Structure 1
């Protein structure tokens, strides 16, 4: 018996030299082992198979044995029953402790080998199905049904004097006519040069396009277009402005050949 340093309690060390395996297993294996041991303590929960190659197992070869675990029962139809156990001896020396319901502490043994479990190759398809089922389960939103006590619908009908907040907010969000920013007029000569350059880019423009390009007041732009352009009332260019012939000719004559 050894005396603990923290609370002066006795620690049972009679099994301290017993060899113990440390096994890192997936949650599905842990749940299966726990449920099987809880239902029947005398029933085997799993079987470990050790495979040795007699042709390689000799004094000159240190080939490790292969470990495989087969579960006695699983919680899901697609949960793998066979797992490969990768053994590792490169770890910090550790011991296993236990505590009973009466608060008694005991050393259950020291860890000899460490194992990392993964689904066996023959069960990899079932493991893939299990992962997809788990992902689908967590992505599916659960629906809730609430029973309404007052099912006559009187509380759902608008009463006199009630104001619907959504309708009021929608009215507030309606845009006002015209632009919120007041456009500043440019100098007339400067605007004429800008318009000539725009009509050099393309021969026909609508009033809305010119307002967007020049950012000028609509009435001021109409006065300029009345002096410089012709409005097309019909034809393929209906609804657009184009330069008067005299301005077109002056533009062609000023262009160097």
Structure 2
């Protein structure tokens, strides 16, 4: 059961209207507690799982929360929604449900303006200065209404259009604040037509000390998309700002690194290089000496008497002959097995096996 002291602080006005209504009808304290507990969005959502209509969505608008509250409250009280007094209905509409999308400002309109970077800095500096004014007011006599505006905007509209607010053809903005002393003062606000609907949202709500990622407010609908440009490219301040921007873009960032931190491997001594080179040359000049053909054949026959099959690598190690010379003489007395368990090995030709059979028998 939700404790009444755990209900949202913004529901105090609605709680008072509900208590007055239920006190007149002499409702039991248990039911009053249940109805007030429905002001908790979590409890309201848990109760909505028991029925299909009205439909419940986690990202629903405040109207959905109000519909579910009326439905569940009437089920608890055993009455119809038409029995809910007008003052409770008005307070229910004014209640801002936590985690629900605040759409009170859905009919407000706003502009979205693309501004140069140097103008953005001016606007941020002016906003920061305004935030410091309340603290200064405590220390000295400061008239908050006497603060200077950042600038002025003039709008040009088509006089032949019925709705002048939506027929702005062009605007002119002039910066007048002290923060804009070093930037161009006059700008043109060119209208950029777009068919894409856009809105402004925020995560800070009025009346709440802290906003969260679930407290989303629809601030306004984007009515105009504007592009802010200097009114004249011959402006002295604009030329100076453009020059500074170009110089910054052309400035290259260089990083100096100390050579003491670099790692390197020392070169070998000259004596080692000479000895290594001599060994390499000696290895390259070493050649295997050819045996006579008859002597090589006798050597091969002797090897095949030890075992019937040999690999080329084994024969090279046993004979210590050049590969080409060994293969030439080997192919005359042996053949390479292409299949079977001895595939890839050399064995004597059948005629040499038959010729050698009587000698082995004697």
Give the TM-score of the pair, scaled to structure 2: 0.33
Higher strand proportion (structure 1 or 2): 1
Higher helix proportion (structure 1 or 2): 2
More relative contact order in 1 or in 2 (CA 8 Å, sep 6+)? 1
Give the TM-score of the pair, scaled to structure 1: 0.45
